[in-house]
Amino acid sequence: MVFSVCVTDIVHLLSIYLSIYLSIYLSLSLSLSLSKSFLSKIPSVVTGSDIVQWMMKNLIIDDPAEAIHIGSLIAAQGYIFPISDHVLTLKDDGTLYRFQAPYFWPSNCWEPENTDYAIYLCKRTMQNKTRLELADYEAENLARLQRAFARKWEFIFMQAEAQVKIDRKKDKTERKILDSQERAFWDVHRPVPGCVNTTEMDIRKCRRLKNPQRVKKSVYGVVDDTQTQSPVHTPSQQSSKDTREDVEKDILFLNTQLDRHCMKMSKVAETLMSYTEQYLDYDPFVTVPEPANPWISDDVTFWELEASKDPSQQRVKKWGFSLDEALKDPVGREQFLKFLEFEFSSENLLFWLAVQDLKCRPLQDVAARAPEIWQNLKDPGRYSFEDAQDHIYKLMKSDSYPRFLRSNAYQDLLLARKKGKSLTSKRLTGLMQSS
């Protein structure tokens, strides 16, 4: 059996193993080398050189540089962190490190938002400033976030104030450990400028992107969808210089996005409701058709009436919904063509119909039919005239079609069918009364 293992999984397993083993090791030996006063101030710590030595011994590593590299990968994921530095790397010296609490592990799939980060920074300003003073980049981040969330800053400030009140109720040592763990958590998700953001390269995050319906997990219970990336993150590894082909692809993509038709959700709902109301009388499952519903009966009279060259008032009324409806009905298309002939512009519709016919022809007939539409066409295909056809369609839709609906020919036909329907109803009523 072949197992698929990612780097993050290996780092996670190594971190758990390292945490358990070193906890036992620390309780037996390191406590003797560190003074009691030191342990009382900064509990549960281990030096970077001790971690390197342990990894070389237990992971059978001969090169110290390799052990430092693996340890730095573990630190970059936030499983171990230096207690006096924001840069998450492992050093082979007396630098003190602490193990991250499982609650903050990246394996919990945290995706903290900028509102969470704003609460954390705001909370730091309310606490002991000598111990938790903001670094320069953190102060800049706080100022940017305060401008970005100006409208909801009062809410963020209240959340931070509530967190401070909760933390003050905890034991001093416990609070000190929690502060360092929380700071290390944000060093992973909002790293120091110039450091690589490991969360952006996490393979788990790549998998999560394929599941957009997954509920986001927030540190403080505040979810913000306005911005998911850090506003000040600048990765140290610059990407390779884009080629001309890459730039052209980007331009093409942006132009495509500009051409997209965007519409508000409220407008979409309103349009859908009006469309449903408009076609309500033409749905045989909502409005009972006359003489019978052909979908649930053996009576095909309804289909015969719809296909006849003598359209009903309902069919004529449907031509006024859109140009598509007029052109889909053979009688409507014929009436529209007669109107265009009267206006000396029938060539527009004839061209559009010819192109539609070209799309439906067998492939072997396309090359012979295309020159009949345009003699100078090279390499003809089914969709060679599509751009021209769209142009003609838009021209008819915006110019000729509205005039057709206002014309006497259409209005007379609509009125005649309405009268005919009224007379038919009266005759049916008379027959029923006489019988």
Per-residue pLDDT tens over the stretch 299-339: 888 888 888 888 888 889 999 999 999 999 999 999 999 99
154 burial class (0-12, 13-18, 19+ CB within 10 angstroms)?
Answer: exposed
User: Which ranges of 113-225 would DSSP assign to H, the alpha helix?
Assistant: 114-126, 136-148, 153-168, 172-189, 203-208
Mean pLDDT of the chain: 76
Q: Which of 168-177, 182-191, 256-265 shows the highest mean pLDDT? A: 182-191
Question: Does residue 197 carry a pLDDT above 50?
Answer: yes
CATH code of the domain in which 18 resides: 1.10.10.10
| Torsion angles phi and psi, residue 82, rounded to 5 | -75, 140
Residue 289 belongs to some domain of the structure: no
| pLDDT value for 375 | 63
The number of domains in the chain is: 3
Residue 360 belongs to some domain of the structure: yes
SS3 283: coil
One domain, residues 86 and 157: no
Which of 44, 65, 99 is a domain's end point? Answer: 99
Mean pLDDT, to the nearest integer, of 263-285? 84
One domain, residues 317 and 345: yes
H/E stretch holding 80: strand 80-82
Residue 223 belongs to some domain of the structure: no
One domain, residues 8 and 80: yes
Question: Does residue 199 carry a pLDDT above 70?
Answer: no
**Cis bond upstream, residue 362 (ω within 30):** no
Residue 383, token pair as written in the block: 């969709």
Per-residue pLDDT tens over the stretch 113-158: 888 888 889 888 887 655 557 888 888 888 889 888 888 888 888 8
Greater pLDDT, 374 or 5: 374
One domain, residues 70 and 159: no
Read off the pTM.
0.41
Residue 219 belongs to some domain of the structure: no
Residue 338 belongs to some domain of the structure: yes
Which of 99, 130, 149 is a domain's end point? Answer: 99
CATH code of the domain in which 178 resides: 1.10.1240.60
Domain holding 49, by residue range, is 2-99
The pLDDT-based confidence of 222 (bands split at 50, 70, 90) is: very low
One domain, residues 28 and 69: yes
One domain, residues 315 and 407: yes
Give the length of the chain: 435
48-67: b or e for each residue (b if 16 or more CB lie within 10 Å)? bebbbebbbeeeebeeeeeb
Q: How far apart are the C-alpha atoms of 232 and 156, rounded to whole Å?
A: 19
| pLDDT value for 334 | 92
Which of 176-180, 233-237, 292-296 is least confident?
Answer: 233-237
Per-residue pLDDT tens over the stretch 21-35: 555 444 434 433 443
One domain, residues 120 and 94: no
One domain, residues 315 and 409: yes
One domain, residues 89 and 185: no
One domain, residues 136 and 89: no
Q: What distance lies between CA 210 and its chain's CA centroid?
A: 10
